[in-house]
């Protein structure tokens, strides 16, 4: 896996993306707020991998609102565990119930 961005910036650490959005497991559902953490070489790959993981988890649709690169390792749960999972190659999905 490539650990450098597609531009002239260089990182000393792997790029861990966070994607914020809402997932829908049925057409009638109000949706579930989601944070998705994963490693990817660029944002296009991150979005594609996130959508594939959501599909595998039974989500029919998703509205992805924001994407960014994590600049620091989180210390609070559940993001700290999700970050570690992302470093190990997993796509970590955090669901927030309302």
State the pLDDT at residue 72: 93
On whether the CB atoms of residues 37 and 88 are closer than 8 A, the answer is no
pLDDT by residue (tens digit) across 16-51? 999 999 999 998 889 999 999 999 999 999 999 999
User: pLDDT exceeding 90 applies to what percent of the chain?
Assistant: 79
For the chain, what is the mean pLDDT? Answer: 89
Residue 2 vs residue 48, higher pLDDT: 48
User: Domain residues of the chain, as ranges?
Assistant: 16-96
Percentage of the chain exceeding pLDDT 70: 85
pLDDT band at 98 (very low <50, low <70, confident <90, very high): low
Would you state the torsion angle of the CA atoms of residues 87, 92, 97, 98, taken in this order, to the nearest 10 degrees?
70
**pTM for the predicted model, two decimal places:** 0.84
Report yes or no: 66 and 26 within 8 Å, Cβ to Cβ. no
Predicted pLDDT at 15: 92
Per-residue confidence (pLDDT) for residue 2, from 0 to 100: 46
């Amino acid at each position: 896996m490539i650990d450098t961005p597609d531009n002239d910036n260089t990182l000393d650490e792997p790029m861990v993306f966070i994607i914020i959005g809402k997932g829908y497991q049925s057409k009638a559902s109000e949706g579930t707020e989601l944070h998705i953490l994963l490693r990817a070489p660029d944002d296009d790959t991150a979005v594609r991998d996130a959508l594939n993981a959501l599909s595998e988890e039974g989500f029919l649709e998703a509205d992805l609102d924001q994407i960014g690169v994590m600049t620091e390792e989180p210390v609070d749960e559940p993001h700290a565990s999700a970050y570690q999972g992302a470093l190990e190659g997993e796509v970590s999905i955090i669901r927030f119930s309302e």
